[in-house]
Amino acid sequence: MDFGLTETQELIKASAREFLEEKSDPAIVRAVAEGDSDAIDALWKDIVELGWPSLTISEEHGGAGLSFSDLAVLLEELGASLAPTPLVESSISSWILERFGSDSLKSELLPKIANGEVLITPAIVERDASWDPESTKVAATRSGSNLVITGEKRFVAFAAQATHALTLVRTDNGEPALVVVPIWKADGVEQTPLSHASGVPVSSLSFNELEVAESNIIATGELATQAVDELVAAGGVARSAQLAGLGRAVVDAAVEYTANREQFGVPVGSFQAVQHHLANMAIAAKQVNHLVHAAAWSFSRDGYSVDTAAQAKIAASDKIAELCWTAHQCHGAIGFTWEHDLHLYTRRAMAWKTDYGDSAFHKSKLANAMGL
Amino acid sequence: MRFDFTPEEKNFKSQLSSFLDDVLPDDWHGPADESRDDHWDLNQDIKKGLAERGWLVMSWPKEYGGSDSSPMMNTIFAEEMAYRRAPGHDRFGTRMFGPTLMRFGTEEQRTKYLGSIARGEIQWCQGYSEPNSGSDLASLQARAVEDGDDFIVTGAKIWTSLAHRADMMFMLVRTDPEARPHKGISLIIVDMKSPGVEVQPIVNMAGVHSFNQVIFDQVRVPKSNLVGDLNDGWRAGMTVLNFERSGIDYAAWARAALEELVDYVNNDDAEVTAAKSDPTVRIKLAELHMEVEAVRLMCYDVSYRQGKGEIPSAEASMSKVAASEVYLKVLDYGVEILGMYGVLEPGSNQAELQGRFFKMRLFYTSGPILAGTNEIQKNIIAQRGLGLPRK
């Protein structure tokens, strides 16, 4: 057991912190939440220059070839700063593409993801808001060497910025297929923006007889289901890493506030009732942090632990959201205002809780893994 | 970052596990009730067996017969013992008092006591809490007055686990009533067979006699039994508590109990079939599984940090709080799943899981109370861990 960060991870963490402090301050987070898409583009441009989208892409395909644990360390910092940027979407898509895609598709897309030409976002969920691949209804019929796709995907993050969507469809014979679909200014794709608590762009995507080359298929049948299961697990761990960082930031903020806010002539943080709230929050943040690290560590180029991945997302979803609500209690009236930044964290935590399978979804997965 | 054990650690765990396979009765479910003579005999047999294999004091330095094992190895040892609900893990001697003697004891004391602890021959108990001094331990009043070469000890200790089985006690006494509370305390060794020592059993709410009140009436204790300097016992005494405060036992007990519940709901012979068909049961068990793994990792983290030479005080408190609470959640849920059977006492006709869950739920109500209540631990977390001001 080694709970420490590697030298590379320490470096990633320190440089990410420094960068994000300047480039993802609360003013930028608020601007993006109010619809400033230029701010998203500017931040993403810088992030591409830092090479973050290429972090886990293999060296063979123009990436840095780092591990999922390294990515998790970076994502914690993104979570702590609420960075309004599609790094999880891009990283998870490239991870799945690398694990399941054909050689030609990988050679074509991965280097472009690494250099920022291509940005892929997962588009899995439909009307029923389920991350279960079985519930996919969006239809694809074969026409020559193309697929013709019709139907609606919902809750697609950063669809407005993405060049491609990684989407699951059901083909004529009833089999699922995981496909990379070009969506940037594409005919036959309509975006419906949602007003989402995350404060970043989230849309529904309507495909109307959209033609996509068959060579864009990553996997079909059983393998497609397996790929989506892994996408949900990896995305869940990635979101959990962000939630872990977010939780840590909220604990720090609550400690800072209660140590300085005075009532009855003493800091309110000297009262046992307040200290016990904060102790509980610190325990929750630590637990999520450990489970995320254990889960991220289980991901390799050969697979992952279904069990630990589910544990991380359950814990992050439930514990970090609860921690945020407790932080509001610790902040008193000021934490109830629009002006104070705390609700930005709470909104993001509530939104991330639902992403890549919520707690109930992953509990069911975990129960299966336990033989129940 | 690495979430796996080394080959050496895995090998040790499997050796310990086979030893326990051999020495525990086939139908052993535990936990041991040390007021039962057959369970006490088992405790002694296992303790001797552990000593023969060099495991009982493996955490000790080589010069005292240990093998200087890492904190992680010690955690693996404690975890496996607790997971099997095996008796014989002598915490008072091996984990608390032995290390204290190495640091504060005289040469003579070390020669006299360390060997017998290492061989598993002597049972120790811990005389700290008093009827009027619980969380506020420094207010303790048991008095030791100097009289020639002896102290004369008068007072009462309470919640003393295993006093009814112990040969010796390490005990905090007040030697200077004029000094400030922390300054007038000394740590002494008392032979439980001394005239004037009376052990009065206390039966806990689970119906088990595991702790006691111990009355000291003019008990004569030689001054050579003083550990550390006179009136400096608080420092030595607190060293012990650092060894006491870990959540690994609870984490392991919780894991064992959870696995029993999973087996139960999957068992076609179980009387409570509703648990099997109710989908909320599998969801709740999955949630508890996550909770158990979370506290397990917290305990490993404490050992990892200790292995690096840190003193992870707040982390240890966090693991104790979280693990003792998660264990109760698992036991609560076990009692709930069993429905009407959940409240049948052990030994009852038609009891399921031998009435074990209800009894354990009652017994481990002590978890968040003992070894520093969870409320005190949360103060430590907030003040030492988060740096919040003391009031």
Give the E-state strand segments of B46-196 in sequence order: 124-127, 143-147, 150-158, 168-174, 185-191
DSSP output for B237-287: HHHHHHHH--SHHHHHHHHHHHHHHHHHHH-TT-S-THHHH-HHHHHHHHH
Chain B contacts of A274, Cβ < 8 Å?
Answer: 388
- Residue A43: predicted pLDDT: 98
**Which residues make Cβ contacts (< 8 Å) with residue A167, sequence separation at least 6?**
A122, A123, A124, A138, A149, A153, A178, A179, A181, A205
Q: Give the 3-state secondary structure of residue A145.
A: coil
Q: Give the 3-state secondary structure of residue A139.
A: strand
Q: Strand B150-158 vs strand B143-147: parallel, antiparallel, or unpaired? A: antiparallel
pLDDT band at B276 (very low <50, low <70, confident <90, very high): confident
Q: Does A360 touch chain B (CB under 8 A)?
A: yes
pLDDT in tens, chain A (372 residues): 999 999 999 999 999 999 999 999 999 999 999 999 999 999 999 999 999 999 999 999 999 999 999 999 999 999 999 999 999 999 999 999 999 999 999 999 999 999 999 999 999 999 999 999 999 999 999 999 999 999 999 999 999 999 999 999 999 999 999 999 999 999 999 999 999 999 999 999 999 999 999 999 999 999 999 999 999 999 999 999 999 999 999 999 999 999 999 999 999 999 999 999 999 999 999 999 999 999 999 999 889 999 999 999 999 999 999 999 999 999 999 999 999 999 999 999 999 999 999 999 999 999 999 999
DSSP state letter for A121: E
Token digits of residue A83: 């960075």
Domain B124-236: assigned CATH number: 2.40.110.10
| Complex ipTM value | 0.95
Are A83 and A53 within 8 A, CB to CB? no
Distance between CA B30 and CA B21 in Å, rounded? 13
- Residue B243: predicted pLDDT: 61
The predicted-structure confidence for B135-165, as pLDDT tens digits, reads as follows 899 999 999 999 999 999 999 999 999 999 9
Q: Domain locations in chain B? A: 7-89, 124-236, 245-385
Distance between CA B334 and CA B325 in Å, rounded? 14
Report domain A223-369's class: mainly alpha
- Residue B272: predicted pLDDT: 86
Distance between CA B309 and CA B380 in Å, rounded? 20
Is 80 exceeded by the pLDDT of residue B275?
no
Q: Nearest to residue B79, comparing CAs of B249, B244, B319?
A: B249
Nearest to B304 among A1, A282, A310 (CB): A1
- Test B386 with A279 for CB contact under 8 angstroms: yes
b or e along B104-137 (b: 16 or more beta carbons within 10 Å of the residue's beta carbon)?
bbeeebbeebbeebbebebbbbbbbbbeebbeeb
Length of chain A: 372
Nearest residue of B to residue A305, measured between CA atoms = B3
Chain B contacts of A360, Cβ < 8 Å?
Answer: 283
CB atoms within 10 A of CB A336: 12
Which helix (H) or strand (E) segment is B345 a member of? Answer: none
pLDDT (mean) for B301-309: 94
Is 70 exceeded by the pLDDT of residue B244?
no
Is 80 exceeded by the pLDDT of residue B242?
no
Give the closest-approach CA distance of B321 to chain A in angstroms: 9
Q: Domain locations in chain A? A: 7-115, 120-221, 223-369
Are A24 and B26 within 8 A, CB to CB? no
- Test A276 with B293 for CB contact under 8 angstroms: no
Quote the mean pLDDT of chain A: 97
From chain A residues 166-195, the ones with a CB under 8 A of any chain B CB are: none
Half-sphere exposure at residue A363, Cβ-oriented, CA atoms within 13 angstroms: 20
Token digits of residue B61: 């330095």
Give the closest-approach CA distance of A279 to chain B in angstroms: 5
Q: Which fold has domain A120-221?
A: Butyryl-CoA Dehydrogenase, subunit A; domain 2 (2.40.110)
Q: Nearest to residue A207, comparing CAs of A291, A109, A137, A268?
A: A137
The predicted-structure confidence for A311-345, as pLDDT tens digits, reads as follows 999 999 999 999 999 999 999 999 999 999 999 99
- For the segment(s) A7-115, the CATH number from 3.40.50.300, 2.40.30.10, 1.10.540.10, 1.20.120.80 is 1.10.540.10
Name the phi and psi angles at A83, rounded to 5: -50, 120
From chain A residues 283-312, the ones with a CB under 8 A of any chain B CB are: 283, 286-288, 290-291, 293-294, 296-298, 308, 310-311
Nearest to A1 among B5, B379, B383 (CB): B5
**Amino acid in the structure at residue B189:** I
The predicted-structure confidence for B361-384, as pLDDT tens digits, reads as follows 999 999 999 988 999 999 999 999
**Amino acid in the structure at residue A258:** T
Distance between CA B385 and CA A289 in Å, rounded? 16
Chain A contacts of B295, Cβ < 8 Å?
Answer: 287
Report domain B245-385's class: mainly alpha
Chain A contacts of B388, Cβ < 8 Å?
Answer: 255, 258-259, 267, 269-270, 274-275, 278
Nearest 10 degrees: CA dihedral of B223, B226, B232, B234?
Answer: -130
Token digits of residue B382: 């907030």
B244 is catalytic: yes
The predicted-structure confidence for A35-94, as pLDDT tens digits, reads as follows 999 999 999 999 999 999 999 999 999 999 999 999 999 999 999 999 999 999 999 999
- In DSSP terms, A139 is beta-bridged to A150, A170
- Residue B311: predicted pLDDT: 86
Is 60 exceeded by the pLDDT of residue B113?
yes
The predicted-structure confidence for B82-112, as pLDDT tens digits, reads as follows 999 999 988 899 989 999 999 999 999 999 9
Chain A contacts of B4, Cβ < 8 Å?
Answer: 1
Is 90 exceeded by the pLDDT of residue B114?
yes
Q: Does A30 touch chain B (CB under 8 A)?
A: no
Give the closest-approach CA distance of B256 to chain A in angstroms: 14
Backbone CA torsion sign across B328, B334, B336, B340: negative
- Residue B77: predicted pLDDT: 96
- Residue B245: predicted pLDDT: 66
- Test A283 with B318 for CB contact under 8 angstroms: yes
Chain A contacts of B287, Cβ < 8 Å?
Answer: 314, 363
Distance between CA A181 and CA A165 in Å, rounded? 5
Number of CB pairs, chain A paired with chain B, less than 8 A apart: 150
Same fold, B124-236 and B245-385: no
- Test B318 with A280 for CB contact under 8 angstroms: no
Catalytic residue among B9, B121, B244, B259: B244
Token digits of residue B207: 């119906």
Is 90 exceeded by the pLDDT of residue B278?
no
